[in-house]
Each structure stands twice: as C-alpha cells, then as structure tokens.
Amino acid sequence: MREARLTHPLTPMDPALEQHIERAAAALFDEQRADGHWVFELEADATIPAEYVLLKHYLGESDERGLEPKIASYLRRTQRADGGWPLVHDGAFDMSATTKAYFALKMIGDSPDAEHMRRAREAILARGGAANTNVFTRILLALFDIMRWDSVPVMPVEIMLLPRWFPFHLSKISYWARTVIVPLLVLQALKPKAVNRRRIRIDELFLEPPHSIGRPPKAPHQSWRWFLLFEFIDTMLRRIEPLFPAKTRRRAVDQAVAFVRERLNGEDGLGAIFPAMANSVMMFDVLGYPKSDPAAAVARASIDKLLVIKAEEAYCQPCVSPVWDTALACHALLEVGTKAAVDRAKRALDWLKPLQVLDVVGDWATSRPDAPPGGWAFQYANPHYPDLDDTAVVVMAMDRAEGAAGKFADNIERARRWIAGMQCDNGGWAAFDADNNYDYLNNIPFADHGALLDPPTADLTGRCLSMLAQLGDKPETSPPIQRALAFLRRDQRPEGSWYGRWGLNYIYGTWSVLCGLNALGIDSAAPEVQRAVDWLLSIQNADGGWGEDATSYKLDYHGHEPAPSTASQTAWALLGLMAGGAVDHPAVARGIAYLTNTQGADGLWAEARYTATGFPRVFYLRYHGYPKFFPLWAMARYRNLKTRNARVTFGM
C-alpha cells in the first residue's frame, strides 16, 4: 500500500470526496456477478494450499490439471526471508505452516537442495524441528507414516456414542470442531496410510527419528491441572482402546458416517470448510467407497470448488464467503445512496432472500430447541450451520432497503426470532451456537489450538444488538437487550476497547459494539461509549489511518499492538467513531484523508495485511473484499453525516 500523503483533509462538500466515493462505488459495481451477488477471494496462510497438494498425494491422484507448479509458485512467493512461512502477511515464523509448505513443495518436486528449501529446513531445525508442530500437523504426518499415531492424542470413534450428559460430547464443541472431528475419528480408528506414489518423506526436518516422538506437550493456553487430568485419561484410553468391542466400533463408525452424510451439503461440502471437507474425502476413501459413489464423488468435488487459479499461481481457499461479501457490499452501497447503488444493493438482496435457511433444523437446535430456523449461512450453502453474524448483517440491509414491512418482512421476522432465541444465558451471542462455553475442553490434548469452542463474544453481541435495535427493540422494554448490555459492560476492557473474535481485533470489536450502543440510543457521553471513542482516538497512526497486529490475540495482551494502517481497519475505526458521536473530531477527517490519499487509480485499496480471524493465534484470514467495501462505506457515511448534520440511524 502507498503511504498516505499528509494533505489537507477533504471537506464533506468538496467535490473531490464525492469523486472518491463514485470511483469506489463504480469499482464495486464492476465486481458484482450477473445474478446480483458478490464473492471475493478468501485467503489464509500456506497451510490450506499445502494440505490440498498433500490430500491429492494421499489419495494417489495425478496432477491432471497442471495445478501443482502454480501452487508451488504461490508457496514460494509467500515464504519469509528467514525461510519460514507465517500465519499472516509479515508475520512471525510458524512451525506447522512451514512444515506443511516444505512437505508440499517437496511432494511437488522441489529439490531439498534448492535454496528456498534449504532455508526452510534450517529454519525448522533451528527451532527444534518438526516435532514441535501442532496436533493437526501430527495427524497429517501420521497419515503419511512419518510420525506414529502414538504421537497423536487419542480420540476414539466411540465418542460418537457418548450421551449428551457426558463431559465430552459433540454438542459441547463448536460447529467447525464438530465437522472436522467426526470424519477424523474414523481416520484415527482405522489409521490408514497415504498412497504417496512418490514415496516422499521429510525425516530431515526432525532432530530425532520421527517414530520416536511422543505425545504433544501442554499448549500455552492450557492449565496444568486440567491438562494433567486429560493426559491421564489419554494414557488410560491408549491401554483400553484395543479392548473396545468390534461391534461397538462398527456402530460408532456407522454413526460417524451417518453424521457426515446428513451434513454433506452437496458440492459445498461438509461444514463448507476445507479441513472438514478434506477429512470427509479421506473418510470415504478409507472405508472403501468407490470414487463413483455419489457421496464420495460429491465430497471430492467440493474441494476443487475452493481453488483460486490464476495465470501464474493457484491456491486453495479455506471456504468461500458469498453471503458475507454480498451483505456487506449492500450496506456500503446503501450508504452511497445513489439510485444506481441502491438498485444494485436491492438486486443483491433479492439474491440473498432464497438463501435463508427455513426448512433445516441445524445443530444449533441441540441447545436451543425452541428457536425456529431463520438464519443465513456464510457460504453458498451450509444449512446445518447458519451463523448469527451473517444473519444480522443481511437483516439490517434488508430492513434499510425496504423497511420492516417491505417485501423482505417475512425474512426479517423469521431471522429476528431465530437470533432472539439464540441468546446465551450470560446475555451475549456467539457465532453458530448458544452456551458453547465448556472452557475445560480447551485443555484436552487435542485442543492445542485453543479453538474448540464457540463462546459468546463482544463483536457478535454488538452485531445482534445492532439488528434488534434497528428493528425497534429498546432497552427499557426488552429484558434480552438489558442482559446483552450488561454482558458488554462487563466485557469492556479497562482502556475502553472490546474484543473482536472474527475481525482483527479490538478495533473490529469496538466498532461492532459502538454500532450496537448507538442503535439503542445510548448517549455518546455515556462512560462506556466515551472510553471506547477515546481508545480509538488514542491508537490512530501518524498517517491518519488505523492498524492492529495479529499479536493482539496473544495470551498476555496488555494493550494495543500497533501495525501499519490498512484501509479496512481504518474504515472500522471511522465507522466506530461516527457511531460514537465523534464525526466532528479532527481525527475522523484525518482518517478520511488517509482513505482518499491511498485509494488506487482503479478506485480500490491495496491491502496485503490480514485483518480477519479464523482462530486467534493459529489461523487468520485475508478477505479480498474488505478493502473494496469498508472504505467506501466509511467515506459515504462521513459525507452523509456531515452534509445532513445527522447521527447514525442504522444498526451498522
């Protein structure tokens, strides 16, 4: 991204500001698909492209499409100067990502003696070797017979048969963990070996013989008390698992297969996320399903729909984001407000309307059986797993475009009832489930990533509050609103920020909550609002923008982790400040100037940094759409508030 020129801030009536808005809107128009929706690339780190390559070699598939050289080019380009691969742009070395990237490149045909491979190998060995990879990487290496299955925590497939009251049950973990683990249980029970026609191994990445490596150590987030208890259980399971009756094991495997089949989701895949989809493919393979079997075939086809193929490079996405991209683009264009922009937003909302999940009672109903279905999923299809964030954002756009009594009235009401029914007992909202806060489970050896659960968070709570408030709910008359406000006031950090689980990080969470508080009519002079506004003002960069680093998710967080300004984080800060009543503060004008000064000739913003979160500390996302609609939204909002001398009157 170019550095912002410290020019005089544009005034809202300046024709130049309108030109910036028009150019950004025109660029967004050009990205709209013929049927009305938007979908942009969703990029993670080197892990997913590497796993795609390794999956093909696990299955013994040939590179019939000639993608391997392109994926290799992508992997080489994203390698750090020190030889490793990071989890985010300009991030620190990550052992698991680096091990997988090296393995994939060697599998593709890169010589271990090549300079980039030598640097990667030296970086791995200098940090203790590939024995220090995470549990998911150990499982992959066990599938290739590089590490032993004894190096992996025990997860018996008989978990499928446990009653709900048991301390570990599938309903007690998050949707993403559930869909990843169920087919993985079958793999761990049957312990297949990869076809691996090239017989590629990576023993050179270990300081000791790979087959001598024991169980993984305690993860930093885990408590010794819980970890030692679960280690003892793991030890006992290793001894008794061989004694489990074969009949019981068959019944557990059958139940796992039934779970996967029910949620297979056509070519959108199990859970519509790559790790679960890949595990389902391997599960069908180890169970002997022929490639022509409809379930096995559709599972395999779903993987290739995640590919992004360009002239020189290719990579695999972790999932796709059409509903999220489309709903957010609608908000930006509704803020622009021209007839052309509004017409395009309405066409996109028409595309979204039939994607509402009204006829499938998903996994969320285990904890909320009385809530009627009515949500939207993140992807093209994922009916068992709609999420509250997408649903709230879609509803607010529909309401803004047509009003609660308009053509989307039934959709809005169904979604409202679902979201209201999904509130957690502590007053907050989570992404996919309610009361999914069994914290002790993040201490099991398998959960070294610390992301086994889907607890309520401030960003989701702020979003759901925004929707309910936009639809007319008020604190004085709504106990759910009162409970949510209490949750947010308890959750605010001393310096004034709120945590962002799904966007990076406290800037995102603070924007979300300020929008909700404003929509409820909370006075901008209220202590919680003023502290949040003051915090956003205090972290503005010298160039007028805002940035925050992924290190803000570290366990010993003590305050803002600065980073170079990005267009999307700057937009979130600006939208938050304007929701907090600070539109006239000079910092807002400087932030708008940063956006106008860094806008490209194509009307868009370059943004290489990752500003979204899959799992804090272990998996991050780069939404290619974020710098296309968030800066436009912020500039249009600024123009509208200043020219109309008004306050923000919508939930977002």
Residue 50 clears pLDDT 80, i.e. is over it: yes
Amino acid letter, residue 612 = A
Average pLDDT of the chain is 95
The answer to whether residues 538 and 546 touch, using CB atoms and an 8 Å cutoff, is no
Residue labelled with tokens 């048991």:
166
Residue 509 clears pLDDT 70, i.e. is over it: yes
**Which is nearest to 121 in space by CA: 103, 144, 146?**
103
SS (H, E, C) 395-460: HHHHHHHHCCCCCCHHHHHHHHHHHHHCCCCCCCECCCCCCECCHHHHHCHHHCCCCCCECCEHHH
What per-residue confidence (pLDDT) applies to 174?
A: 96
Fold match between domain 15-40+321-644 and domain 43-316: yes
Domain ranges of the chain: 15-40+321-644, 43-316
pLDDT digits (tens, 9 = 90+) for 539-592: 999 999 999 999 999 999 999 999 999 999 999 999 999 999 999 999 999 999
What per-residue confidence (pLDDT) applies to 593?
A: 97
Terminal-to-terminal C-alpha distance of the chain? 27
Q: Which long-range contacts (CB under 8 A, 24 or more apart) does 401-407 make?
A: 401/330, 401/334, 401/342, 401/345, 401/346, 401/349, 402/346, 402/349, 404/471, 404/472
Residue 11's pLDDT band (cuts 50, 70, 90): low
What per-residue confidence (pLDDT) applies to 13?
A: 63
What gap in Å lies between CA 232 and CA 144, rounded to an integer? 27
pLDDT digits (tens, 9 = 90+) for 151-172: 999 999 999 999 999 999 999 9
What per-residue confidence (pLDDT) applies to 1?
A: 28
**Which is nearest to 174 in space by CA: 449, 491, 555, 541?**
449
Give me 390's structure tokens: 């997408």
What per-residue confidence (pLDDT) applies to 317?
A: 98
Give me 203's structure tokens: 């023993």
What per-residue confidence (pLDDT) applies to 405?
A: 78
CA 623, 629, 632, 636 torsion-angle sign: negative
The CATH number assigned to the domain with range 43-316 reads: 1.50.10.20
What per-residue confidence (pLDDT) applies to 10?
A: 61
Average pLDDT over residues 21-36: 98
What gap in Å lies between CA 251 and CA 237, rounded to an integer? 19
Using CB atoms within 10 Å of the CB of residue 152, give its burial: 0 to 12 exposed, 13 to 18 middle, 19+ buried. Answer: buried
Residue 8's pLDDT band (cuts 50, 70, 90): very low
What per-residue confidence (pLDDT) applies to 15?
A: 81
Give me 235's structure tokens: 């030890």
What per-residue confidence (pLDDT) applies to 473?
A: 95
What per-residue confidence (pLDDT) applies to 86?
A: 98
pTM of the model: 0.95
Residues carrying an active site annotation: 389
What per-residue confidence (pLDDT) applies to 577?
A: 98
What per-residue confidence (pLDDT) applies to 314?
A: 98
- Report whether the peptide linkage leading into residue 382 is cis, meaning its omega lies within 30 degrees of zero: no
What per-residue confidence (pLDDT) applies to 14?
A: 73
% of the chain surpassing 70 pLDDT = 98
Q: Name the CATH topology of 15-40+321-644.
A: Glycosyltransferase (1.50.10)
pLDDT digits (tens, 9 = 90+) for 471-498: 999 999 999 999 999 999 999 999 999 9
